[in-house]
Amino acid sequence: MPKHNPLFLYLLWLWLSCYGFNAHAMRSDTTPDQFAFADQTNVALNTTITSNSITVSGINAKASISVTGGKFSINGGSFRTSSTTVSNGNTVRVQQTSSSANSATTNTVLTIGGVKDTFSVTTLANSSLDTTPNAFIFSDQTNVALSAAVTSNAVTVSGINAPAPISVSGGSYSINGGAYTTAAGTVSEGNSVTVRLTASAANSVTTNAVLTIGGVSDTFSATTLAATNGGFVSPPASPGNPSFTSEHFSGSSNCTQCHNGIKDSSGKDVSIETDWSSTMMANSTRDPFWRAKVRSELNRNPQLTDVINDKCTRCHAPMANFEAKSSNETKGILDGGFLSASHPRHDEAMNGVSCTLCHQVQDAPNLGTLSSFTGRYEIGNNKTIYGPFENPFANPMIMQTGYTPTYSAHIKSSKMCATCHNLKTPYVDQFGTVLSTTPESEFPEQMPYSEWEHSSYASTNPKSCQGCHMSRANGVKISTMPMMLGTRDNFAIHEFVGANKLMLDIFNNNKEQLGVLSNNFAETIDKTQTMLNSSAAITPVNQSLGSDNALNFTLRINSNTGHKLPSAYPSRRVVLHVTVKDAQGTVVFESGKINANGSIDGVDADTNLAAFEPHYDLITAPDQVQVYEAIMGDNQNQVTYTLLRGMVYLKDNRLLPQGFNKSTAPNDIKVVGDALNDANFVGGSDEISYRISGLSGSSYQVEAELIHQPIAYSFALDLFNEVDNEVEDFKTMFNASNSKSSRIALNIFSVVR
């Protein structure tokens, strides 16, 4: 036997000590120490129950983990049912849903590396159920806006150990921020509940909603604002002093001494200030819709306050705006601005679009171009009054007022009107960032002058804005002084008639509240209806009642306006209302039924502010309604009623003036939507067909009427989401008016088999 080297033996011993001795320690151990969950009893029925946390120990490698009858969570993570692995020191909890029966035990078994424990949950016995909560209290609310949706404070359900029944009367409720509902349900311990109700439409009225949980109830009350004056929130407005004088302007009352009390050759009174006083122009700052919309735009885009105050007063309070700009003063409308009686420019503002404003607009080189639009008129410092008649006798006016009357043809041209009636506005994204970069890129809020330019009224069949909106009189002595002054023919009556019967009606019925001074509205309203009646006509093109029991007819809508119909501001719409009656007078079909509140049956926008009614070439069902309108869209191509969000038109099928070529129309006045490809929708007219199936009679009467609405119901609804005084007061006036809709045309005809 060989003799071993001592050094070799020592090294062998050292290797065995370091490696051989630790071989057992290097083997994987995935079997943990025993763990235990604390079982729970007397838990609520059908409730999520979570166990205590256990710590995995006794392993040196990852061990498998799985569960049956519930879920598990590792180190506070999300609960899961799928198997995975855990490491030494990990914490684990399990979770399950308790039984829906009393005194029932449910089990969750957790297995880690072959070691198991069961988490048991036993529900309450029948005698242990407690579904009667502790008392809860809602805080009543007062001085809430009329017809507003009012939400209560949140209450937390406590004192129960099982789901308790919940119900509501007079409102709706929400659990944990979920959808509001009126249906009965259940709540659990710790749930949060709010109640919502709709406040009364009348002042000083309390509305109640009663919430009941497990037999315990509380009432949430909301009381509307008290009526401060005739049902209005705000005090009556100051009318301003129409006898003011300022650096550049003179109030309308200063013109009455010479320009009221004048008559034409037939003896008809054509007093300038009297006719003007009951127009939209004279009352442009008293307009409660304008005031409410200004408030809404300021609320929605407060970062653009200066832009809003400037743009909205250039044409609604032009004299105040001009003087403020000339003197480098701040321009404001609400909250101590121009509309406040204490503001130094209040009188100029309340005189609206007045005599010395329009008649001082200069014939600047840019008049009628983009750079003069949106209220960029030019007024000089020499007090020159431009008029339509040559060789005026100037001295009386110079001596009485300091203004010099001068003939200028531009005062009779449409480009004069374009300064305010072509309006482009900047637009913002959903974050309030201005996206428009140039005047060209701004949103064409209203462009009747450009529409007129693209029609035959500006070329082959010329007629100016003044030619339609200011009727003519002959034999008029245009001033009462001097007495020997001769008469003039083709005198333009200062009636400025449009289509807005609604606002004229509101002015007439709310004079004290709005600070209105005129008593001439009845005449202006009559003239407005006459203009509406002349603006369009309905003609049946063909009709038949076939053997297939289908009634077919086609209507042609002829437009007689020099711009789109309806024109300008995008709140306006024209609706084609068609009713079919059988021989007994029973209505068998109706499209476009208009309700007293201004809504229209079947019009998508009136029930969903995110939608709008498409343009039709063929109508076959009552919920299809032909609506001629412009629908604004934002930068996300979503419907918007906020002017400063308007970037594009999602629909513009307003009736076109004669001679309007939709294929060559500039971008600012283009046709948008299905009407663009409708071969029957052309300059001056639209033809639309109706096919009504399932009829059995042999004769029917068709009534087709065209209706004008200055404010679409959907536009009003969006505005009424605001709760400010201006909006609330306008809402009161709007709801009370019977002029929300006005007929333009009617045609009744019969169809016989």
pLDDT in tens, 498-556: 999 999 999 999 999 999 999 999 999 999 999 999 999 999 999 999 888 999 999 99
pLDDT for 369 equals 97
Confidence class of residue 227 from pLDDT cuts 50, 70 and 90? Answer: confident
Residue 539 main-chain phi, psi, to 5 deg: -130, 125
- Give the H or E element holding residue 521: helix 521-534
Q: From residue 209, how far is each of 137, 192, 205, 214 by CA, in Å?
A: 12, 17, 14, 17
Q: Which residues contact 520 (CB under 8 A, 6 or more apart)?
A: 274, 275, 277, 278
Confidence class of residue 5 from pLDDT cuts 50, 70 and 90? Answer: low
Q: Are 496 and 518 in contact (CB under 8 A)?
A: no
Residue 203 has pLDDT above 80, yes or no: no
The number of helix segments (H) and strand segments (E) in the chain equals 17, 35
Span 261-274, average pLDDT:
97
Q: Are 353 and 314 in contact (CB under 8 A)?
A: no
pLDDT in tens, 551-589: 999 999 999 999 999 999 999 999 999 999 999 999 999
pLDDT for 46 equals 86
Cα–Cα distance between 605 and 364 in angstroms, integer? 43
Provide Rg for the chain, Cα atoms: 38
Span 438-466, average pLDDT:
97
pLDDT in tens, 40-51: 998 888 889 999
Q: What percent of the chain has pLDDT over 90?
A: 89
DSSP state of 457: G
Residue 13 has pLDDT above 60, yes or no: no
Cα–Cα distance between 49 and 175 in angstroms, integer? 20
Residue 96 β-bridge partners = 49
Residue 88 has pLDDT above 60, yes or no: yes
pLDDT in tens, 592-615: 999 999 999 999 999 999 999 999
Give the range among 142-146, 319-323, 626-630, 693-697 with minimum mean pLDDT. Answer: 142-146
pLDDT for 753 equals 87
Confidence class of residue 329 from pLDDT cuts 50, 70 and 90? Answer: very high
pLDDT for 100 equals 85
pLDDT in tens, 399-424: 999 999 999 999 999 999 999 999 99
pLDDT in tens, 164-193: 999 999 999 999 999 999 999 999 999 999
pLDDT for 101 equals 87
Q: Which of residues 143 and 654 earns the better pLDDT score?
A: 654
Please state whether 242 falls in left (phi above 0), alpha (psi between -120 and 50) or beta.
alpha
DSSP state of 147: T
Q: Which of residues 536 and 145 earns the better pLDDT score?
A: 536
Confidence class of residue 125 from pLDDT cuts 50, 70 and 90? Answer: confident
pLDDT for 205 equals 84
Cα–Cα distance between 586 and 701 in angstroms, integer? 10
Residue 3 main-chain phi, psi, to 5 deg: -90, 125
Confidence class of residue 11 from pLDDT cuts 50, 70 and 90? Answer: low
Strands (E), 3-79: 40-43, 48-50, 54-55, 63-68, 71-74
For the chain, the distance separating the N- and C-terminal CA atoms, rounded to the nearest angstrom, is 133
pLDDT for 7 equals 63
Residue 328 has pLDDT above 50, yes or no: yes
pLDDT in tens, 694-723: 999 999 999 999 999 999 999 999 999 998
Residue 472 has pLDDT above 90, yes or no: yes
SS3 content of the chain, % helix, strand, coil (to 5): 25, 30, 50
Residue 118 β-bridge partners = 109
Residue 69 has pLDDT above 50, yes or no: yes
Cα–Cα distance between 556 and 576 in angstroms, integer? 11
Confidence class of residue 742 from pLDDT cuts 50, 70 and 90? Answer: very high
CB atoms within 10 A of CB 612: 22
Cα–Cα distance between 627 and 630 in angstroms, integer? 9
Within 317-373, residue ranges assigned H as helices are 318-326, 346-350, 355-358
DSSP state of 263: B
pLDDT for 22 equals 47
pLDDT in tens, 340-351: 999 999 999 999
pLDDT in tens, 618-662: 999 999 999 999 999 999 999 999 999 999 999 999 999 999 999
Span 318-322, average pLDDT:
98
pTM, to two decimals: 0.73
pLDDT for 20 equals 44
Residue 619 β-bridge partners = 690
Q: From residue 705, how far is each of 40, 575, 601 by CA, in Å?
A: 74, 8, 15
State the chain's mean pLDDT as an integer: 94
Cα–Cα distance between 357 and 385 in angstroms, integer? 9
Residue recorded with tokens 């198997």: 83
The closest of 420, 290, 447, 316 to 361, measured between CA atoms, is 420
